[in-house]
Structure 1
Amino acid sequence: MRKNKLSFKEKAGAEQEECLCFCEGEASREAMFQAPIELPEGFVVDPAEAVANVTWNADSLSCVSDRCLIQTGPEPDEVGVQFAVRLQGTVTLLVSVSPVRNQYGQGDGAVSVIHNAEIDQVVYYSDEPDDCPDISDITIVLVPEPEPVYAFTANPNDQSVSVIDTNTHTVVTTIALPYNPAGIEITPDKSAVFVLHPNNNVISVIDYDTLTVTATILLDQPPRLIRFIPNHEFAYVFTGTAIYVIGIDTLTVERSIPVEGFDIAIDPNGLFAYVLNFGLVQKVDLSTGEVLGTIERELIVSSIETDSTERYAYVLEQEFLFNYLTVIDLNTFTIRDTQELEPDGLYVMFTSGSEVYLHDSFTGNLYSVSPNGAGVIGNLPQSATDYAFTPNGDFLYTTRFIEQSIIVYNTDDYSVETVISLGVSPGAITI
């Protein structure tokens, strides 16, 4: 199925039709439509190599020029006349798709369908009453459907994962799971989604393309969190007493590294882990399990993230009314800077893509974190359970557990783009 676009060009005469209305219709020189094609049973089309051809007949289209009023000044009687140039009627298209092959990959045929597209829209506004396009010069432009970019939420009370298409902000499906999910992350190559079940010592693996559970990984300890780094073939799963290194392709545990703490980050080079344990930040060799260095802090270190473009770690330190962000240079494993945050803030630190962020649910301030510290980039007045930006950076998805919904913010000004009702309580989210 392909979405096609009609582009209207040129200008020519057409009959005039008057109306007493304001020019409120939205003008568009494109008409969007879909032409579904059903394949015979036993035959398939590979979207990667499919080619569509379209021929059309626009004889049933006509152009009218609607007279309407436009406000020309601040006073109610300051109005003028414009003409809304409108195309109406039917475009008949013959759409064919090839190559069509049987289930064994044999053949090189085509499938065609006749499709009628209804058109009734204002093409543009004009000062001239007879300013219509030349209908014979309509062009057809094939526009492929955008590849879906999915957001996945772990719904612990429902034993499920919700899948949302971020192109349309709509729920695509809900995937049933055998156990309650907690953490959830997508592999860097977008091939699979790993879902953690800490109460059952299990990781479920969801295929990104088919949106089905394709594998289960058994551990001998509860998985608490999972980390990936770009261009590396391992998943790093932390249980609180060990780091399990799991091959993404093999879905098997390659090795485990005994280490205690409550949060970890992985060095962008894949050689070291950084483990938080109360007032300590420990550097651990992922090959040997040896502790190579320790940074002591006076406050409790609550969470740690690393960026994938520069070799820095960011540590959020919180205790009573004190909040600090500490930047660690991973090349030297020394503190580069410590920034004091608002003392009464309620901070959550998260990574999305290659960037690190902070959200203060008390003030609503959203911070971008860099080696130079944290700077405010927007305000989200609603608290959230988890956060994730879309890959193009246009939207921020936030889960709200009690409200059973996702708030989608437009990152131009961090206004609410839409609210997605799930019907279940979402926890962790990944895009």
Structure 2
Amino acid sequence: MRKNKLSFKEKAGVTQEECLCFCEEETSREAMFQAPIELPEGFVVDPAEAVANVTWNADSLSCVSERCLIQTGPEPDEVGVQFAVRLQGTVTLLVSVSPVRNQYGQGNGAVSVIHNAEIDQVVYYSDEPDDCPDLSEITIENLVVVPPFYGSPLSVTGTIVLVPEPEPVYAFTANPDDQSVSVIDTNTHAVFTTIALPFEPTGIEMTPDKNSVFVLHFNKNMISIIDYDTLTVNTSILLDQPPETIKFVPEHDFAYVLAGNAIYVIRIETSTVERSILVEGYDIAIDPNGLFAYVLDFGLVQKVDLSTGEVTGTIERELIVNSIETKPPERYAYVLEEDHFFNYLTIIDLNTFTISSTQELEYEGEYLMFTSGSEVYLFDGFTHNLYSVSPGGADVIGNLPQRGNDFAFTPNGEFLYATHFIEQSITVYNTGDYSVETVIPLGVSPSAIAI
């Protein structure tokens, strides 16, 4: 599905119709058709061997955006606006059946008929007034040749897929109290399934190619790996020490796990530990070039060569260094620091391994730094402010109604997911104004989340 970039009315052939009704009409992305075919006299089709083919033209099909209302809260006046995306018009089908033979069973011809399928239905609801499907993505499925019966002619039935279902985009939450991972379909904001784990999950991250999900088991020195397509645990990796955090670099072949006093380098394709690098610390970030790790220890930021294991540089800090992140392909590292009630964001230039700038954050702030996609963010649990982090510093982009344990944005940037351990739920925020889109009850306590 795509959103039209050009003029909605002029380029997409779409009109808007005002409506004060609620969004109650059922949606369907498909339409059934049945095309009767009259055979020429003296010719027959054997349904057992018949094959149907269909080509189509949707030039007479148009899109209408209909404004409607949704209830957004328990009060009668708590309503919002959505848009019913309706397809209206005709899909012209050229339906053919072969082989067609004469009464003696000879020949290998075909017979065709033009059939017009009338369409008038809501295919989905949208928050955008100019959200129209790409009609070139229409497909025909489930073709069946129906033999004549009780005076009815031969016919072909099938399904016109007007709008394909969106590819599933899953969110994964680690649920320590239940030894499980909840899988949420972010297209519907609903729990899709729950994956049982052998041990308590303490961390979760997804590979950059979205093929696998790595689940850390700190208390068992183990990592479980979930296959994204099958949503099953397909392998596990046993370490010598408890895994604390895991990092990936886009378009690189390895996962980097900080466990105890070592960085374990794991080849993603084979799920095997290739080597370990001895280093003291409690958080790491990986250089976008994949050659160095940046390790936080008490009062230190260390630069570690991932090939040799040598510490090639050290930045000493008088503050408490809490966490560190990088933001490929940018050549900067972001360090969250604190000193009693004071909080700072320090930005390190990775080309020179020197401090580029330090920004003072809110006094008495309770900051959490997290990555989502290729971006870095801060959330202040005291003010509930959400920040976007860049080489220029941290800027407020929104304010959330409540704090969360962990956060992740959907890949399209439309929603922010926040886990709530005590409430056993996930809040979904609309990033347009960071209002609550919905709350997903889990029945278990989620901690970390990955999308």
Same fold (TM over 0.5): yes
Matching residue of 1:230: 250
Matching residue of 2:223: 203
2:29/2:161 contact within 8 Å kept? no
1:33/1:117 contact within 8 Å kept? no
1:361/1:381 contact within 8 Å kept? no
Q: TM-score, normalised on structure 1?
A: 0.71
Matching residue of 2:391: 371
State whether structure 2 residue 410 is matched by structure 1 residue 390: yes
1:205/1:214 contact within 8 Å kept? yes
Deviation string 1:306-325 (CA, Å, 9 cap, x unpaired) is 00121100000012111010
Deviation string 1:3-43 (CA, Å, 9 cap, x unpaired) is xxxxxx99xxxxxxxxxxx963369999624579xxxxxxx
Aligned pair partner of 1:175 in 182, 192, 195: 195
Q: Distance in 2 between matches of 1:413 and 1:212?
A: 36
> Tell me, what secondary structure is at the counterpart of 1:199?
helix
> Tell me, what secondary structure is at the counterpart of 1:224?
strand
2:30/2:161 contact within 8 Å kept? no
Runs of 5+ in structure 2 lacking a partner? 1-12, 33-51, 57-85, 97-116, 123-159
Q: Distance in 2 between matches of 1:291 and 1:175?
A: 40
State whether structure 2 residue 315 is matched by structure 1 residue 295: yes
Describe how 1:213-362 pairs up with structure 2 within 5 A: 213-362=233-382
CA distance 1:29–1:218, shift in 2 (3 Å): closer
State whether structure 2 residue 167 is matched by structure 1 residue 147: yes
Q: Distance in 1 between matches of 2:268 and 2:121?
A: 51
Give the Å deviation of 1:343: 1.3
> Tell me, what secondary structure is at the counterpart of 2:428?
strand
Q: Distance in 2 between matches of 1:390 and 1:353?
A: 8
2:300/2:314 contact within 8 Å kept? yes
Runs of 5+ in structure 1 lacking a partner? 1-8, 11-21, 37-50, 56-85, 97-115, 122-139
2:299/2:319 contact within 8 Å kept? yes
1:191/1:207 contact within 8 Å kept? yes
Q: Distance in 2 between matches of 1:52 and 1:223?
A: 56
Give the Å deviation of 1:381: 2.6
2:367/2:379 contact within 8 Å kept? yes
Deviation string 1:85-143 (CA, Å, 9 cap, x unpaired) is x99xxx9x9x99xxxxxxxxxxxxxxxxxxx999788xxxxxxxxxxxxxxxxxx6622
> Tell me, what secondary structure is at the counterpart of 2:220?
coil
Give the Å deviation of 1:426: 0.3
Q: Distance in 2 between matches of 1:426 and 1:53?
A: 49
Matching residue of 1:24: 20
1:160/1:174 contact within 8 Å kept? yes
Q: Distance in 1 between matches of 2:449 and 2:25?
A: 38
Matching residue of 1:212: 232
CA distance 1:257–1:379, shift in 2 (3 Å): same
Q: Distance in 2 between matches of 1:148 and 1:23?
A: 31
Aligned AA (2:201): P
Give the Å deviation of 1:195: 0.4
1:205/1:213 contact within 8 Å kept? yes
Aligned length: 330
Q: Distance in 2 between matches of 1:223 and 1:27?
A: 48
RMSD over aligned CA atoms reads: 3.3
2:30/2:163 contact within 8 Å kept? no
Matching residue of 1:163: 183
Q: Distance in 1 between matches of 2:369 and 2:29?
A: 43
Q: Distance in 2 between matches of 1:244 and 1:144?
A: 42
Give the Å deviation of 1:299: 0.6
Deviation string 1:266-309 (CA, Å, 9 cap, x unpaired) is 00000000000111000000011100000011111000000012
Aligned AA (2:212): A
Matching residue of 1:78: none
Give the Å deviation of 1:407: 0.5
Give the Å deviation of 1:148: 0.4
Q: Distance in 1 between matches of 2:358 and 2:331?
A: 16
Aligned AA (2:176): P
Q: Distance in 1 between matches of 2:229 and 2:236?
A: 17
